[in-house]
Amino acid sequence: MSAAGERRVRVGLGARSYDVVIGSGLLGRAGALLAPLLDAQRRVVVVADATVATLHLDRLRAGLGRNALDVVTVPGGEATKSWAQLEQLVDRLLAMTIDRHTLLVALGGGVIGDLAGFAAAILLRGLDVVQLPTTLLAQVDSSVGGKTGINTAAGKNMVGSFHQPKRVLADIDCLATLPPRELRAGYAEMVKHAAIADRPMFEWFEAQGPAVLAGDAAARAIAVEHSCVTKARIVGADEREGGVRAHLNFGHTFGHALEAETGFGDRLLHGEAVGLGMVLAMRLSERVLGCPADETARLAAHLSASGLPTRLGEIAGGRIDARAAMTHMAVDKKARAGRPSFILARRLGEVCRVDDVDPALVAAVFEAAA
Ligand code: NAD
Ligand code: GLY
């Protein structure tokens, strides 16, 4: 930890390595924290979630200490990860006569990070981007690792690229304004990191999760740092998901199917879908890998105690059609020849990829989770 109380996690990717800085008051010190990227000639354009801009942009503006700061706002929420919003954003940025030295700064949750990151990847064949994640989900997951993209009619994140940020500033003060449901959704992604690779951290969450959710700053900083360490280690080992990075998709095959079936909206947030998807993946793991049922029960109990849905019946707005949800799995971008791929667990903290799962077992898992 630095003198200013920041924690730093290095994402080691050779010439594209970068730091994730975690702590309080980072937006207000953004000028200093981003100094190596900010020469006087460099134009900075902030792409901000419209809600976040009203809450946190002034702190960033003061922290950057720039008189002329261009800001483009876009709406938050999953619908923004679309061709239409991407086109609008790209056109607005080009109309500002940006150049290849322009630095994009993404201020918002995973939606803004993914959209602005993708715009940075394709504009003028690639601009530098800095991620300033303001949701818990974005701080522990989406801002780290360089995945960017949008959703299409065919499904989630179907168009995108790997485009690593130059730096990430995860200011935990931003979490104070985050709606509790969004906070819990991000918490599910932290539990995911522990569940795939860090059993002691899962045990820590069982004890300290309530403090993290209640707003204890020290507990939050530890949790965010730990999650980023796990993610950075995995991304550093396998940036383009040829192997171990796929483990980060634990809960996602079921989760994406549920998000698609519920319309990528307010019925089921991404992190909630991942939480529920992890419980279903554990049930499948029992059938495929002999994972002890106690492990599933333990994960489900913790997620449920944290206020997250663990059964399909808890999703608002009507019954989920399991067969329809399964059809989305065939077009998931991780599917091969129409067969979905799953990350399954031998136990909490130990997962592997399984490609050839009998669809009848998947259907049985859906039915048992009604
Ligand atoms: P989001 O960006 O839509 O933010 C959720 C809501 O919180 C929005 O309404 C937003 O306006 C609001 N908000 C954001 N910060 C706030 C703050 N500090 N105070 C008050 N309100 C705030 O959603 P998200 O959960 O952050 O991100 C979900 C997206 O992330 C999904 O599209 C998912 O696919 C993507 N994702 C990407 C990766 C990756 O590796 N790139 C990983 C995980 C998830
Ligand atoms: N969220 C999955 C990944 O970054 O690979």
**Residue pLDDT, tens place only, 204-220:** 999 999 999 999 999 99
189 noted as active-site residue: yes
Cβ 156 under 6 angstroms from ligand 2: no
**Catalytic hit among 125, 319, 323, 336:** 125
CB atoms within 10 A of CB 108: 32
Q: Which residues contact 115 (CB under 8 A, 6 or more apart)?
A: 47, 74, 80, 81, 85, 86, 89, 106, 148, 150
Cβ 171 under 6 angstroms from ligand 1: no
Ligand 1, atom 22, lies closest to the CA of 178
Rounded Cα distance, 177 and 46, in Å: 20
Can you say whether residue 241 is alpha, beta or left, with left for phi > 0 and alpha for psi between -120 and 50 degrees?
Answer: left
The per-residue b/e assignment along 131-153, b for 16 or more CB within 10 angstroms, e otherwise, is bbbbbbbbbbbbbbbbbbbbbee
Q: What is the pLDDT of residues 306-354, one digit of tens each?
A: 999 999 999 999 889 888 889 888 777 677 777 899 999 999 999 999 9
- 61-67, long-range: CB < 8 A, 24+ apart: 62/28, 63/26, 63/27, 63/28, 63/29, 63/30, 63/31, 64/30, 64/31, 64/34, 64/38, 65/31, 66/31
Instruction: Say what the pTM is.
Output: 0.96
**Catalytic hit among 56, 270, 283, 302:** 270
Q: What is the pLDDT of residues 130-183, one digit of tens each?
A: 999 999 999 999 999 999 999 998 888 999 999 999 999 999 999 999 999 999
Ligand 1, atom 29, lies closest to the CA of 110
| Position in ligand 1 atom list of the atom nearest CA 117 | 41
Helix (H, G, I), strand (E, B) or coil at 214: helix
* Per-residue pLDDT at 2: 62
256 noted as active-site residue: yes
245 noted as active-site residue: yes
**Catalytic hit among 29, 245, 247, 283:** 245
Local confidence band at 1 (pLDDT 50, 70, 90 cut-offs): low
Q: Pseudo-torsion of CA 93, 95, 96, 98, nearest 10°?
A: 70
**Catalytic hit among 29, 163, 249, 283:** 249
Q: Which of the residue ranges 101-105, 157-161, 291-295, 318-322 would you say has the lowest mean pLDDT?
A: 318-322
CA atoms within 13 A on the CB side of 242: 5
Rounded Cα distance, 92 and 63, in Å: 25
Angle subtended at Cα 88 by Cα 85 and Cα 94, rounded to the nearest 5 degrees: 140
Rounded Cα distance, 198 and 209, in Å: 15
Tokens of 176: 């104070």
Cβ 51 under 6 angstroms from ligand 1: yes
Cβ 49 under 6 angstroms from ligand 1: yes
Cβ 174 under 6 angstroms from ligand 1: yes
State the chain's maximal CA–CA distance in angstroms. Answer: 61
Q: Percent helix, strand and coil across the chain, each rounded to 5? A: 55, 20, 30
302 noted as active-site residue: no
| Position in ligand 2 atom list of the atom nearest CA 234 | 5
Q: Considering only CA atoms, which of 280, 275, 281, 277 is closest in space to residue 308?
A: 275
Q: State the average pLDDT for the chain.
A: 95
| Position in ligand 2 atom list of the atom nearest CA 147 | 4
Place of tokens 């970068």: 18
* Per-residue pLDDT at 154: 82
